[in-house]
Chain A
Amino acid sequence: MAVLLLAEVNNGELALDATAKAVTAARAMGDVTVLAAGASAAAAGEAAAKIDGVAKVLVAEDASLGHRMAEPTAALIVSLAGDYSHIVAPATTDAKNVMPRVAALLDVMVISDASGVVDADTFERPIYAGNAVQTVKSLDTTKVITFRTSTFDAAGEGGSAAVETVSAAADPGLSSWVEDKVAASDRPELTSAGVVVSGGRGVGSEEDFALIEKLADKLGAAVGASRAAVDSGYAPNDWQVGQTGKVVAPELYVAVGISGAIQHLAGMKDSKIIVAINKDEEAPIFQVADFGLVADLFEAVPALTDAL
């Protein structure tokens, strides 16, 4: 069986972590061919060729593929689909935009956010915001799947796959890119960071989120937030960790002033070590924490920042 894996390519650059995690999931099902698509994608293709377990890399470069627009990207994948039993991608917002479109064009179902591979036809995926796990067996000839990256380890480097170029499909010309507003930050990217420090409603204000950011910077961590903190305007939306935000699984996750709503837990409970700091000892976050500290965050967080 052969797997086509859509690499995560942003502005010509490979998102190595997300792509390498999807490679780990995909290897279980057959030979992995990575597709790097973009206005410029050659460098991303070269980087993908070095991922251990990649058998071949296809590079598709065309202006229409430049901003991860769904319609031309889906058309490209569909034009290549005949050679593959599985078409997969890391479950990023880009892939979630494109892959269901691919599936419908192939008249198959999509399996979104798969968190486990049972066999080549059977996959586990969280449903109800992570409150249940469903095992589904695909009856379709082609399986289209996005993989939740937080549950797979990244494949290592050391591969030397052959790189070929392929042509883009005709651009359906249905949409055009206007602009990207990417939050500029020196901190690591949230979904691939080794350490994440998140603040919740307990932080109380946008100004006081500086406490969270200081601790994060001391730990070299990414900053996250609960949905409650985002909805209260304390933190921008792209910091949101949870079922409706980003799903993370760092080595260390520090939850500050977060009560631990189910939808937040769904986004971080696969973290290796979880620390919770909350003044409410009844907060559900303590049920998933390895180390809990019942304390006023305004005293504990500066003290922790100093002590590290």
Chain B
Amino acid sequence: MKVLVPVKRVIDYNVKVRVKADGSGVDLANVKMSVNPFDEIAVEEAIRLKEAGKADEIVVVSIGVKQAQETLRTALAMGADRAILVNAADDVHTDIEPLAVAKILAKVIEEEDPGLVLAGKQAIDNDMNATGQMLSALLGWSQGTFASELDIDGDKAVVTREVDGGLQTIKVNLPAVVTVDLRLNEPRYASLPNIMKAKKKPLDEKTAADYGVDTSPRLEVVKTTEPATRAAGIIVGSVDELVSKLKEAGAV
């Protein structure tokens, strides 16, 4: 079975996000970028499926700016077999919306015919949590979102999902789109030899136009602002003072 994993280039998890003063967005120039952490978990899971003999090829796909090559190389160094970069924007600040990404992925999938798509549940930049579900809808496939456990059982996948209040286990027909949550696995670090090897792995470049997909946004970004800050509170000296302050405020 071939596994396809979409990966997104996003601001590094540890970088402090700075909102531009003119309200036009978040400053991404000269900022460290990395693989979206949820996508890294998806890549890791695909590699584990391959190691367990349940997958035979892993194709990683990124849609965005040409710099996403680095993102794909990271996934190749972890253990993916080949990569497809779909150039869809020139400016690093352009965020291709999940609907357009899902449409391009659906076209890639028509050509690649994978048995499973493993995707991160959301990207840590736009926090939309939508691409996997949208892709599944466009393909008419089943979906298993927010997976914390995944098992392939013949022509079905058993997915344990992290839901409000606990866990839900479902069985989905393959091919399926499964989106992964934090606790599914801990992604490996790429070793130096594997990073060197990854440079020689195939990376195809395409454009959104090659797939005939219109990527113009459906949501016009009016402005981006800093979140409201809370007024500073007070430091109390003791538990008793805390209790009396809480009583004064009517909180207990």
A residues sitting closer than 8 Å to B (CB atoms) are: 10, 67, 69-71, 74, 92-94, 96-105, 107-113, 122, 125-140, 172-183, 189, 191, 219, 237-238, 243-244, 246, 251-252, 269, 272-275, 281, 286-295, 300, 303-304, 307-308
Contact = CB atoms under 8 A, between A and B. Distances in A.
B230 A269 contact: yes
A181 B226 CA distance: 38
Contacts of B182: 244
Interface in B194-252: 217-227, 230, 232-236, 238-240, 242-243, 245-246, 249, 251-252
A109 B99 contact: yes
Interface string B101-140: 0100000000000000000000011111111111111101
Interface string B11-47: 1000011010000001000000000000000000000
A191 B165 CA distance: 10
Contact of A138 (B167, B218, B249): B218
19 contacts: A96-B145, A101-B143, A109-B99, A110-B98, A112-B130, A113-B127, A113-B129, A131-B16, A132-B26, A175-B142, A177-B168, A251-B251, A273-B251, A292-B233, A293-B239, A293-B242, A307-B240, A307-B243, A308-B252
Contact of A289 (B11, B125, B168, B233): B233
Contacts of A291: 233-234, 236, 242, 245-246
Contacts of B135: 104
Contacts of A113: 127, 129
A139 B234 contact: no
Given A174-B173, A286-B235, A136 B220 contact: yes
Nearest to A287: B232
Contacts of B146: 93, 97
Contact of A174 (B141, B183, B225): B141
A139 B126 CA distance: 18
B104 to A, nearest CB: 13
Contacts, number: 241
Contacts of A281: 235
Interface in B140-187: 140-146, 148, 158, 161-173, 176, 182-183
B127 A128 contact: yes
B134 A100 contact: yes
A76 B132 CA distance: 20
B236 to A, nearest CB: 5
B233 A290 contact: yes
A285 to B, nearest CB: 11
Contacts of A129: 17, 124, 127
Contacts of B168: 67, 177, 179-181
Given A100-B133, A104-B137, 9 more contacts: A97-B133, A101-B137, A128-B125, A134-B224, A174-B173, A177-B171, A180-B166, A290-B234, A291-B246
Contact of B164 (A138, A238, A292): A238
Interface centre among A71, A125, A191, A294 (most CB of B within 10 A): A71
Contacts of A128: 11, 17, 26, 124-125, 127
Contact of A70 (B128, B133, B249): B133
B81 interface: no
Contact of B17 (A94, A132, A135, A136): A132
A308 B243 contact: yes
Interface residues of B, number: 76
B97 interface: yes
A304 B242 contact: yes
Contacts of B124: 128-129
Nearest to A173: B173
Contacts of B128: 100, 110, 112
A71 B142 contact: yes
Contact of B183 (A105, A107, A237): A237
A243 B123 CA distance: 12
Which 3 pairs across A and B sit closest by C-beta, in order of nearness? A174-B142, A104-B134, A100-B133
Interface centre among B168, B218, B219 (most CB of A within 10 A): B219
Contacts of A272: 251
Given A101-B133, A304-B243, A132 B218 contact: no
A204 B204 CA distance: 48
B251 to A, nearest CB: 5
Contacts of B133: 70, 97-101, 104
Nearest to B131: A100
Contacts of B252: 219, 252, 308
B224 A132 contact: yes
Contacts of B165: 10, 182-183, 189, 238
Contacts of B239: 293, 295, 300, 303-304, 307
Interface centre among A98, A113, A291, A304 (most CB of B within 10 A): A291
A237 B246 CA distance: 29
A175 B224 contact: no
